Amino acid sequence: MPSSISSFDFSRPIPALPWRGVLIATLLATAAATVAWEVSARVRGYAPTLNDTPDLWSDRREAVKPDSLVIIGDSRPLFDLDLDELEKGFGARPIQLSIAGSCAYVTFEELINDERFRGTVICSIVPGMFFAPGGPLVKNAEDALKRYRERTIAHRAGHHLGMWLEERIAFMKQEDLVLAKLLQKIAVPNRPNSYLPPDLPPYFQTIDRERRTRMIDACAQPGPLQDRVKHGWIPLFTPPPFPAHTPKEVLEGMARTVEERFGKVAALVKKLQARGGKVVFVRFPHSGDLKELEDKATPRSGAWARLMQETGAPNIYYSDHPELIYDCPEWSHLSGPQSVEFTQRLVPHLKKALGK
């Protein structure tokens, strides 16, 4: 006896519709919506430029040669160092491996533990970020390394197609205009022991395939965008307190991680120097209320001074040299023209520190 399941008739009649017209209408509607979204993005100040993805970072990590000049750090050397001027000063094209919103120690450790590398490292130190024991800052750097180690042919193909589109289409901004990011901008009030993360800075830079980063004019000049970026740094550099129920062992483990990092960095510096490589630590310009906040939270006499003492590495603190002091447009980074001039002025100090 046939089962009730086998007796079902799964055939579905195809409705008699003008399918060619439906297809054309759908394509036209999609094209119109795409054009409208592109126009909307450009009206809001967006322009075609690459997204700084883990794949783009991996491209540059793969470009590192044994004797390369490599830049490691947070977003400040991304904005503040001009690759052309560094190349003029050192005779070699530098590799930009800094990652915005990251803990530079993660990249520093990975590069120096690569036994093939015996080149020169310019490393930015923002103490509150470099000594982060975990959280988003560490994860951002680890995500880039993970993609570098594990990316496949499919990843590479998608990345190169994505770059071709990003260089031509303004709305392809993964940190701003994708649905998930737009939903995160819906205001929800904080609750006791439950704090929403502060807003990340909006789009205010361009980036190329070498990861050269430039502040756009709308942010370099006084105006709504500059104010939005400027006043976004304070909450980002002022994390909420740990909830009262945070286990004591968690807090002690974080403190231990920070304490151990001084010795680990010193060991890494010596390890690279033993292979003939060199390291110079740099504190890049910051200004305004952000400088006041950072100087109070992480004074120079604290983590910076201790790190320099324990590593014995050459270092440059921008405020020691009047020609390196700048008023950053949005308190944290230099504009494009400023970065060229700053790099020109920094190169002699770098060469002296590195003995070149």
The pLDDT value recorded for residue 80 is 98
Q: What string of pLDDT tens digits covers the 356 residues of the chain? A: 454 555 556 677 878 878 888 889 999 998 898 888 888 888 888 888 999 999 999 999 999 999 999 999 999 999 999 999 999 999 999 999 999 999 999 999 999 999 999 999 999 999 999 999 988 999 999 999 999 999 999 999 999 999 999 999 888 777 766 666 665 666 666 666 555 555 667 889 999 999 999 999 999 999 999 999 998 898 888 876 776 777 888 778 888 999 999 999 999 999 999 999 999 999 999 999 999 999 999 999 999 999 999 999 999 999 999 999 999 999 999 999 999 999 999 999 999 999 87
Does a structural domain hold residue 22? Answer: no
Total domain count, the chain:
1
Does a structural domain hold residue 255? Answer: yes
Does a structural domain hold residue 9? Answer: no
Does a structural domain hold residue 337? Answer: yes
CATH number at residue 156: 3.40.50
Does a structural domain hold residue 125? Answer: yes
Does a structural domain hold residue 17? Answer: no
Does a structural domain hold residue 192? Answer: no
3-state SS track over the chain: CCCCCCCCCCCCCCCCCCHHHHHHHHHHHHHHHHHHHHHHHHHCCCCCCCCCCHHHHHHHHHCCCCCCEEEECCHHHHHHCCHHHHHHHHCCCCEECCCCCCCHHHHHHHHHCCCCCCCEEEEECCHHHHCCCCCHHHHHHHHHHHHHHHCCHHHHHHHHHHHHHHCCCCCCCCCCCCHHHHHHCCCCCCECCECCCCCCCCCCEEECCCCCEEECHHHHCCCHHHHHHHCCHHHHCCCCCCCCCCCHHHHHHHHHHHHHHHHHHHHHHHHHHHCCCEEEEEECCCCHHHHHHHHHHCCHHHHHHHHHHHHCCCEEEHHHCHHHCCCCCCCCCCCHHHHHHHHHHHHHHHHHHHCC
Domain that holds residue 270: 54-187+202-354
Q: Kindly report the pTM of this predicted structure.
A: 0.87
The pLDDT value recorded for residue 196 is 58
Does a structural domain hold residue 11? Answer: no
The pLDDT value recorded for residue 124 is 98
